[in-house]
Chain A
Amino acid sequence: MGGVIHRAIIATPCAALALLGAWWSVGAPLGGGLWPPDTVTLAEAVATRNNAEALRLIQQGADPNRPGPVRDGLLTNGYDVVVLPVEAAVAAQRADSLGMLLANGASVDDRELRVLRCLERARHDSGVREILDARAPGEPDCNDIRLPTDRAR
């Protein structure tokens, strides 16, 4: 009897893993397994460094110049924001994402460029700064600029 108990105790961690495996395997076809599907907006894909998903969304018709919601915790703490994909890229300090968006239809006018440059001054990234400064060198005037990641009043 003692042998059975000893063997059962030793087997417990692996048995728990096997049960977890069963749960993941059953959950997978139902969409709730180990890899649950995660639907993101274009701005969220950019904010989470998911360039491949961002590109897929653009190829499927998502507008790279349309603001989208970004959940709390990705770019901000304590509140959701609605930002342009390029703003999400600058806020996430992702030069590669910014470059990808600009190469795939994102446009930045003078006003937006100023916003982006001021956002970069708040969230420093040398790669992002290089891309933005190539379009408008010098220090931006950020006096009357409200950053897109600021909490809405």
Chain B
Amino acid sequence: MIQAPGRSRATLLALIVAALITIPAADSLYRVPVQVSDSLEPIIVAQKAGSTLSHLENSITFSPTTFRPSRYLQARWLLQVADTTGLTYNAIFRGVHVALLVLLVLLFLLAVRVRDWTDLAALTVAFPVLIGIHTFVAMLLEAFPVNHYAEIGACALAVFVLAQRPPRWFVPVVVCVLLGCALSVVESGAMVWITAICCAAAGLPGIKRSTVLATTVMFAGYLVLRHALGIVSPGIGGHGSGFGATFYSAEELAQRFGAHPLGFMLYNVAGGLASLLFSEPRNGVYSLLIAWRDREIHPVVLINILSSLATTSLLVWYAVTRVSTKRSAWSHAERAFAAAAAVFLINALLTAVYIKDEIISVGGLFYAVCAFIAVRGLIESLPRRSAAAALVITAFLAADAALWTFRVVGVHYQLRYAAFKTRNDWVEVLREDKQDGWPHDPGELALTRRLRGEALERRTTSPSFMPRRGDRYWVE
């Protein structure tokens, strides 16, 4: 168990296995330069601000549909850290991404609590689920310029970890701080409140009525504040999203569904849930429909669907075999399963207006938690089964783990591809033949030039030198 490292060899081995898989992932993540899209603009805005307070005030007016003061504040603080330490901007911003990855892995290990060899065997299936699920790589690749969905995921997992421990006086305070931080970063921060509510509803010991009350008041206050600031929720047409086999632009969506959005919203919610459970659709687009239309299916689609289908069937088995048990008689694991399942089911509701893998990334983390509990339950049941049944179940779990492991290798492939693409994006910034489009502000020009120079210095191999069939197996 993580709480007592070294006491169990299984715990120690779990840490080693997680570290050996996470270190290369961190390396691949670190090699992606600071992005141009979504990152350059907030960094420049942060640099231009006269003071942190004025920056905070200005950030409220940046968008009529978003309230994300910490997005800009974080960029400002990280710039100051870089200037103070003399480190490169890339080292600071990408270092934060790596730190968040490590934090997520540690919180996941704390959430699943490996204590014995059965736990460890379950972890060897669930950990590849955590890293290999498509929502996790989407979480890693997102950058505004910090990957805020990873921050939300860390906050939600931290609440889940606290919920599993005995109640302490400081829990309401800590959960409120986590909720406040999350809500100031991105609207999906609401998932932290949802996690607290789900944990309380499932009867996990750490979240008491006081925490539920405090976080609910805080969340209500957040909604009132948004309303008072004139910030509205985005409607259909604010972002592009998929429908069927096609991805539509924001304008196309507004034209197509703007007058009668309910059906499209239901489609999105169902799609968000299906994406978590079956890896389809992706961003609202069903690859299976494309495969049907083109009479050709890429292996990546099959691998993703089969692995998710196998794992989801485990979750369904676990839930069905315990559905008749009264809530008061639930074990700790069953309460944790119920809470985690409720979190990822509710997460799908956040995709009502448009679907993005990042939006359901918190759900992906809790899907992996559920996978751990279900796999553990199945392994535990093996001694009570016939030898043939035990062998079949073992083969099934090993095959499922193998598919997810293959998906984890694909995460490296996708990160490497992203590093190449992101670095190339910087070639289009400050082009020699378009100097009339360069920033006029000397500070902005110097900052842009430095970021561009740092990105170009991060040598990245072209995908032309990567395995030629990689796209078919790892890129959807």
The chain A residues found within 8 Å of chain B, CB to CB, are 2-4, 6-7, 9-22, 24-25, 28, 33-38, 40, 45, 47-53, 55-56, 59, 74, 96, 99-100, 102-104
Contacts and interface: CB of A to CB of B under 8 A. Distances in A.
Interface in B103-144: 117-118, 120-121, 123-125, 127-128
Quick one: which of B24, B118, B426 has the most chain A CB within 10 A? B24
B462 A25 contact: no
A17 B462 contact: no
Nearest to B16: A18
Contacts of B31: 35
Interface string B427-456: 100011100000000000000000000011
Contact of A38 (B121, B124, B465): B465
Given A7-B118, A25-B23, A37-B459, A13 B128 contact: yes
Contacts of A38: 461-462, 465
14 contacts: A2-B387, A2-B390, A10-B379, A10-B401, A14-B17, A14-B123, A14-B128, A15-B17, A17-B405, A18-B20, A22-B20, A24-B27, A34-B24, A48-B463
A56 B457 contact: yes
A4 B103 CA distance: 31
Contacts of B461: 35-38
Contacts, number: 140
A59 B47 CA distance: 27
Interface of B: 16-17, 20-24, 27-28, 31, 117-118, 120-121, 123-125, 127-128, 379, 382-383, 387, 390-391, 394-395, 397-398, 401-402, 404-405, 408-409, 412, 416, 420, 423-424, 426-427, 431-433, 455-457, 459-465
A11 B120 contact: yes
Q: Which 3 A-B pairs have the closest CB atoms?
A: A14-B124, A48-B462, A103-B433
Given A6-B379, A11-B124, A17-B409, A50 B416 contact: no
A49 B124 contact: no
A10 B456 contact: no
Given A17-B405, A52-B427, A7 B460 contact: no
B424 A52 contact: yes
A39 B402 CA distance: 34
A14 B20 CA distance: 10
Contacts of A9: 394-395, 398
A50 B117 CA distance: 47
Given A10-B401, A34-B28, A35-B28, A21 B23 contact: yes
Quick one: which of A11, A36, A48 has the most chain B CB within 10 A? A11
Contacts of A51: 424, 427
Contacts of B123: 14
A130 B423 CA distance: 26
B462 A53 contact: yes
Contacts of A56: 456-457, 459
Nearest to A22: B20
A11 B375 CA distance: 12
A18 to B, nearest CB: 4
B454 to A, nearest CB: 11
Contacts of B28: 34-35
A10 B387 contact: no
Quick one: which of A12, A19, A35, A102 has the most chain B CB within 10 A? A35
Contacts of B391: 6
